[in-house]
């Protein structure tokens, strides 16, 4: 049986690296939860002055940039987790709250990853 906290730390480190590759800055805080076939993480981002300036001057451009960053992150995170757990992602939900610079990400796999971790 693997230490679940070490697994979460490893996953968190790699997800943080992915965010840093895409946006130029890693998350300020990242908390991971694993329950049955779900991996949920809550991530708080650092405020990026450039994004704030774009948001204040052109809301449409800001939304387009945010959407691009979300999609790019989603693809890389899904690829990493598919390889890590050796299973497929069934659903990927990304909810971003700009006011708090925070996102809640829920990923559902095609098998019970919690059970797999507890038995390996």
Domain boundaries, the chain: 4-98
Angle at 47 between CA 45 and CA 50, to 5 degrees: 125
- Give the chain's length: 120
Angle at 64 between CA 28 and CA 52, to 5 degrees: 45
State the pLDDT at residue 119.
Answer: 80
CB 39 within 8 A of CB 33: yes
pLDDT tens for the chain, 120 residues: list them: 568 899 999 999 999 999 899 888 889 999 999 999 999 999 988 877 887 888 889 988 888 888 888 888 999 999 999 999 999 999 999 888 766 678 899 999 999 999 888 887
Within 13 Å and on the Cβ side, how many CA atoms surround 101? 15
* Both structure tokens of 38: 């779900």
Torsion sign over Cα 48, 92, 116, 34: positive
């Amino acid at each position: 049986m693997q230490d679940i906290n070490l697994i979460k730390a490893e996953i968190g480190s790699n997800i943080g690296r992915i965010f840093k590759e895409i946006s130029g800055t890693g998350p300020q805080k990242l908390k991971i939860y694993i329950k049955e076939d779900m991996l949920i993480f809550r991530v708080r981002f650092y405020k990026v002055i450039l994004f704030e300036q774009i948001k204040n001057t052109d809301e449409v451009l800001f939304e387009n940039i945010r959407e691009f960053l979300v999609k790019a992150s989603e693809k890389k995170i899904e690829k990493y987790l598919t390889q890590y757990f050796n299973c497929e992602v069934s659903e990927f939900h990304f909810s971003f709250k700009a006011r708090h610079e925070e996102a809640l990400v829920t990923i559902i796999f095609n098998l019970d990853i919690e059970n797999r971790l507890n038995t390996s």
